[in-house]
Structure 1
């Protein structure tokens, strides 16, 4: 975080406030007592779609989980919640980065020109048209996986067939050409504005109704999380942080892990391990992990580079566009 003088510093006060909040939630029985063992969040997701959990954080437009929830509980309704206000202000979850590095070419590559040809191929209109849309919005080949409906947009022919033949395509989309945001058939626009199917079967109509319900919830996420008055937390996106010198990088990794272990222990230990004691222990661990030198190095880097990297505040200029 930045202090009052604009210097990049370790935000210990905010860390303690966060810890206090987590301890309150845990002590009140609001969160799963075994949450620390749910490393990938699979249990939390399962508890949410089966109606056992009232709040859950999804990564992106997870319409599949919503439809599973509705199948288990037809009366369930969802909406995106703005994060609670704090003594430091009100913030939003991390926003997907508008610009980022997704791959590199090895300096010793025998044929770097071929690498770029592959990227050009993946970014071509033809390839992008095959794999850029989701299974439910017409990925694949025309006449095989989708048809063009009366709306002019693609409609899947057989979802189950598509899942078997196209479900592996997701990771390839990082190389494909993004669809025009103004395109009514783009992933985002179709999620926010689902198109009524041209062929009305009982299943199609029911699915369309679910899509409309999800669209309203998805729109509420835009309203809650893209408000500049509730900015994304942090000064610099993780992708734009510099690479520390090797010895400092190891110190940082070990220091962060030790701090996380201390904070986790405090969360589940009630009054026997209060937050102020946990923060003091964390500061001591950080000090023995070369923390002061790491902070000095990062602060110096920030002074020299803050006008050259994409900062959190810059995200909102992209959002306007």
Structure 2
């Protein structure tokens, strides 16, 4: 504990600028009082939810009481409410029912936050920001998408968010060494990809043409996203899902994919096939570190393997890119029962500030890192892992745009290591290929609206049997034609009241098409 308090004191000394920021936002003091109230009355701490992932080293503390929470309390008195990460909705519902929900609810689940809005559990925040914010107000002005995404159907602003920048999340890799061995060029269309897979398989250069479990790049290539724009309206798609299924069925029937793909629920077998050198084209979803690690494993198993990242081949519906992480992500709402919203706003400003975002990412200069040629270099990896690496959920608000996790990882690769530089080229190529409005995301929007309970009930009941129908078409041989499956799927949709879902999205799009954030809006942000 003595060491912990010494660290806290050091942090306070090095980051006093944050106290100045917060005083400017609220006219407040550093003792939990504000200029709008009696300065002799000490305020109760606000309450803020914090995901508990069980990843805080015991010697550092707990998710709600550690060296960082103690330091934050020197500026804004706050009690953290631990919420199990994978049971967060259940925990919040229990707290709300008991009247014990935190003042600031931090939750990644868009649908759940929308549910809280529909239940009138949330406090509008526009006036609060206008009167009591400096940091977050400035972010709203610089990045209007924060305001657009945080505004609900009544026209009021309810949600806080954070800025992540552009971070590729999906990839299509191809074995460049196998391309050369087969005398092929990079396939430009789905038809060329199919022919290339056949050639590589026929030449016995790979066991599989591509993967069907894990990240399925073929659905993206065919824009198989369920909802599409046609004739100025948002409608349920049937044409694309049929085309994507026919393509996958063709690959399956010709032995170009693992025939047991349906039992590979998490894609782990497909990944192992890839890193063991058995797969020609591989769709992958993951972060830059996983790309590095998987390529390193592939190279250790197949020393001559050479990977390239390529654009998704064109289909008759256009050319699209794998998903990238939400560049703007909404994360926080204020409980309508919060007794001290001004202090909640002070906390949001604190956690949105540039200095706080930097500190919670890198730690303290001179303790956890030093600057070398303008780049943060970790001093002691073990110390960083123990004291800083687990702070991601403390950075759920505001100013993350100063730290793009993807570009930071790329910049930190060793310039003197040939393999590091090969991976750097791979990742930089992926960024340039996939963050491009000429090859957009296939979805109408990354920010689909929350569904009313009765519509969600229909969707939840029909999704699994619909998916099973299409899967059986792929593996069912000549007895399960795609045309027959399409008719069965339409009948199932109709019997399941799917028209209600169609009408909801049709009405929603018509009402929001001039104000919502759609895919085309995502490519011109100045991160």
SS of residue in 2 equivalent to 1:53 = coil
Give the C-alpha shift of residue 196 in structure 1. 5.0
- When Rg is computed on C-alpha atoms for both structures, the one with the higher figure is 2
Corresponding residue to 1:27 among 241, 244, 253? 253
Identify the residue that residue 142 of structure 1 maps to in structure 2: 365
* Alignment deviations for residues 196-221 of structure 1 (CA, whole Å, 9 cap, x no partner): 57xxxxxxx5xx43331111111211
Structure 1 residue 112, shift from structure 2 partner: 4.0
Q: CA deviation at 1:69?
A: 3.5
Residue in structure 2 matched with residue 77 of structure 1 by the alignment = 306
- Give the secondary-structure state (helix, strand or coil) at the position aligned to 1:228: coil
Check if 1:259 corresponds to 2:472.
no
- Which residue is 2:327 aligned to? 98
User: Quick check: 105-114 or 303-312, which moved more?
Assistant: 105-114
Post-superposition CA distance 1:227-253 (Å, at most 9, x none): 32222112122x2x2233321210122
CA distance in 1, matches of 2:366, 2:418: 25
Uncovered stretches (5+) of structure 1, i.e. residues with no partner: 133-138, 198-204
1:170–1:214 distance in 2 versus 1, CA, 3 Å: farther
CA–CA separation in structure 1 for the residues paired with 2:418 and 2:424: 10
Q: Which residue number corresponds to residue 229 of structure 1? A: 438
Q: Residue deviations 1:83-107, cap 9 Å, x none?
A: 1211111111223223231232333
Q: Which has the higher strand share?
A: 2
Tell me if the contact between 1:79 and 1:218 (Cα under 8 Å) persists in the aligned partners: no
SS in 1 for 2:252: helix
How many pairs were matched up?
Answer: 297
Counterpart mapping for 1:1-321 below 5 A:
1-3=228-230, 5-54=231-280, 55-62=282-289, 63-132=292-361, 139-149=362-372, 151-159=373-381, 162-175=384-397, 177-180=399-402, 187-194=405-412, 205=416, 208-237=417-446, 239=447, 241-318=448-525
Instruction: State the partner residue of 1:200.
Output: none
Q: Deviations over 1:27-72 (max 9, x none)?
A: 2333333333333333333333343334131323233333343444
Distance (whole Å) between structure 1 residues aligned to residue 256 and residue 388 of structure 2: 39
Relative to structure 1, the CA distance from residue 160 to residue 26 in structure 2 (aligned partners, 3 Å threshold; closer, same or farther) is farther
How many angstroms apart in 1 are the aligned matches of 2:409 and 2:481? 45
Indicate conservation of the 8 Å contact 1:193/1:212, yes or no: no
- Report the more deviating stretch, 89-98 or 44-53: 44-53
Q: Note the C-alpha offset of 1:113.
A: 4.2
Looking at secondary structure, tell me which structure has more helix per residue. Answer: 1
Question: Counterparts of 1:295 and 1:196 in 2: how far apart (Å)?
Answer: 51
Partner of 1:57, secondary structure, is strand
Secondary structure of the 1:104 match is strand
> Are the aligned partners of 1:266 and 1:273 in contact in 2 as well (CA < 8 Å)?
yes
Contact 1:82 1:225 survives alignment (8 Å): yes
Given that residues 127 and 176 in structure 1 are in contact (C-alpha distance below 8 angstroms), is that contact kept between their aligned partners in structure 2?
Answer: no
Maintained 8 Å contact 1:50/1:73: yes
Contact 2:332–2:397 (CA<8 Å) still a contact in 1?
no
TM-score by length of 2: 0.51
Which string of whole-angstrom CA distances, capped at 9 and with x for unpartnered residues, describes residues 165-224 of structure 1? 54423343333622447xxxx644444445657xxxxxxx5xx43331111111211232
Does the 8 Å contact 1:50/1:69 carry over to 2?
Answer: yes
Rounded to whole Å, the distance in 2 between the matches of 1:176 and 1:76 is 42
| TM-score normalized by the length of structure 1 | 0.80
